[in-house]
A and B are shown apart, each in its own frame.
Chain A
């Protein structure tokens, strides 16, 4: 066994094409991803064996999310009113900068030095760890997967299983180098080592940070799901709990969480339920002996209201972050999550990231798909991901003259030459006489077509027109018959 760190793609740039080329050459990464995704695919389907039950529930999940979005501003206000009344402080942030400033202000008011984090993708969006570190506050991840990648200065490769691109040997080497522990690739020992270290961190932390899976408007409840218990530790042990979430995570009432929870945990992990479902409705009450004295909720927009403004793109916000679309995606499985260079990878990442970062910063994302449709078929809330990818491709080539601002960075891939080429193609195909002349010459001079057609012929043979066009063959056939 080598002592060298096994190569994984170090990706920080958002250049999807270049990153993907690197990832495809990383055989270790590809093996790790393939076996992990295969396992997740089979776990999901084993947990949803009854097709009627599954499909009816997906339909209900879709409608529950659609209903919540159809009254989103009212539900957010109801949530805020209930949480406030129950003693949870609600903050609103338009941008990640604003959200970071809110968190920092709370931390500084408590003179906090150490922050312990449960898993939160919104905090990744905010780059909260970096922001807190810059201000002299230690921000430590406590989800086992997040802890592992933070030790290796990496970003999550999957929204549910952040370190799924690493195998036990790689984690063992990492712990050996970064934590000075004796090498082992025994998973139980690795987890017990991390548990020991992180328990002390929970003990001393001034603030706990978490995400939110569902925010229930009617009861003012923050619902969090997890298996490890680090979420409960982060939200219970430190004197302050700050939950950060996107404005779309709200649902109308508690019963809506029943189908959504079942869809979430089965789609994500093939589990009927996670080990813990933690419902928080208030900070520590008089007479209670534990729980945080202060609880805060930060509601983050960060481009979500842009997706919300268009009734088709709004469906992007149905997402309950299960990760099933990435588990089933042939592109994601081959290049891994880090190649996307965005917080949210895979199919959902390709439709949400352009709203968070602008299309000009994610120009290749909508195109990095074969539109095979697997993501849309497994989505527990029936987001039509392939249709939304096509829509984003259109927005991406919108000409500057076209009216209607739909999204930041739209038209980033507009090219007048390409537009002209397609105009010509349209012209050629809609005029019969031109089409006839064109195909006549194309078939007669088929021998002149070049053998080398750039990127196309790197993996395919060059297309060569047949000796006669289909029109000519059909005509000859009909003449022969009569």
Chain B
């Protein structure tokens, strides 16, 4: 008998004569304690994300490209990984061209194997969109895709994410109702830059992922 058959047979014989427990899920318990007025969602998300070392900036549809290029300049960053074929990537690329910004824009347009060394050693920052936000926990929902692959929000030391205020949900339960089906190959909840408290519970940021996370919230989108 294979391990599979052995395990399943043992479990089945242990359950012989029993009936499955009814689905106990009660949405009110995970939804009602975590509801906010629309205006409060942005405030709460900002407060919680700031508390874990993220920088959250409120902006609007017209001004975010300039804000982004200013904050990269202030950090002396000359190279940015972004997806030029996404709506936000295109807007920012156009902005840079119009403003004659010397920033080098880089696309993740090859398999990782073709440029792993460069991604690990020579990409100081990345810029991605987000699927949604979650007010209750101060969280971004990020769905990696061919334009913005999985490692884009993980390997560069600085990750900048664009979030539309209208896409901030109250809580995880509410956010789940809007997730794609079937589930994408990878879906991420990101709630700050990477951190650890493994030595004496002293909090240290920049453990294995980004050292800094900046969130641009577009209030009128």
Contacts and interface: CB of A to CB of B under 8 A. Distances in A.
B115 to A, nearest CB: 9
A206 to B, nearest CB: 13
Interface stretch (B12-20, B55-63, B85-93): B12-20
A133 B27 CA distance: 47
Given A57-B29, A229-B154, A144 B198 contact: yes
B116 interface: yes
Interface in A216-266: 219-221, 227-230, 232-233, 236-237, 247, 252, 254-256, 258-259, 261-262
A219 B182 contact: yes
A190 interface: yes
Given A276-B189, A308-B14, A227 B207 contact: yes
Contacts of B111: 289-290
A40 B198 CA distance: 12
A71 B179 CA distance: 26
Contacts of A187: 199-200, 202, 204
A258 B11 CA distance: 26
A291 B149 contact: yes
Contacts of B112: 237, 289-290
Contacts of B194: 227-229, 275-276
Interface string B108-141: 1111100011001000000000000000111100
Given A162-B198, A237-B151, A67 B22 contact: yes
Contacts of B179: 254
Given A94-B3, A256-B25, A143 B52 contact: no
B198 A275 contact: no
B35 interface: no
A236 B154 contact: yes
Contact size range, B: 35 or more
B190 A275 contact: yes
A233 B196 contact: no
Contacts of A145: 196, 198-199
Interface string A37-79: 0011000000000100100110010011011001111101100
B196 A144 contact: yes
A60 B198 contact: no
Contacts of B188: 232, 276-279
Contact of A73 (B12, B33, B202): B12
Contact of B137 (A50, A272, A281): A272
Q: Output the residue of B2, B144, B191 with the most chain A CB within 10 A.
A: B191
Nearest to B151: A290
B30 interface: yes
Interface in B171-205: 171-173, 176, 179, 181-202, 204
B208 A203 contact: no
A98 B3 contact: yes
A50 to B, nearest CB: 7
Nearest to B24: A63
B8 interface: yes
A168 B198 CA distance: 10
B75 interface: no
B183 A219 contact: yes
B23 interface: yes
A85 to B, nearest CB: 9
Given A72-B11, A94-B3, A191-B207, A148 B29 contact: no
B6 to A, nearest CB: 6
Given A70-B21, A195-B206, A219-B182, A287 B146 contact: yes
B95 to A, nearest CB: 25
A207 interface: no
A124 B193 CA distance: 28
Given A63-B21, A71-B20, A284 B198 contact: no
Interface residues of A, number: 94
B10 A67 contact: no
A281 B207 contact: no
Contacts of A92: 2-4, 7
B200 A168 contact: yes
A93 interface: yes
Nearest to A57: B29
B96 interface: no
Contacts of A221: 183
Interface in B136-165: 136-139, 144-146, 149-151, 154
A274 interface: yes
A261 B185 contact: no
Interface in A72-120: 72-74, 76-77, 86, 92-94, 98
Nearest to B112: A290
A32 B189 CA distance: 32
B220 interface: no
B151 A161 contact: no
Interface string B64-102: 000000000000000000000000000000000000000
28 contacts: A39-B201, A63-B24, A67-B24, A70-B21, A73-B15, A86-B182, A142-B208, A187-B202, A191-B206, A227-B197, A229-B207, A229-B208, A254-B183, A258-B30, A258-B172, A261-B172, A269-B197, A272-B136, A273-B137, A273-B189, A275-B192, A276-B209, A279-B186, A280-B186, A281-B185, A289-B109, A290-B151, A291-B150
Given A57-B30, A262-B30, 16 more contacts: A64-B24, A73-B12, A192-B206, A195-B207, A227-B195, A232-B150, A236-B150, A273-B191, A275-B192, A276-B194, A280-B186, A281-B182, A283-B185, A290-B112, A305-B11, A309-B13
> Which 5 residue pairs across A and B have the least CB separation, nearest first?
A229-B209, A63-B24, A145-B198, A229-B194, A282-B185
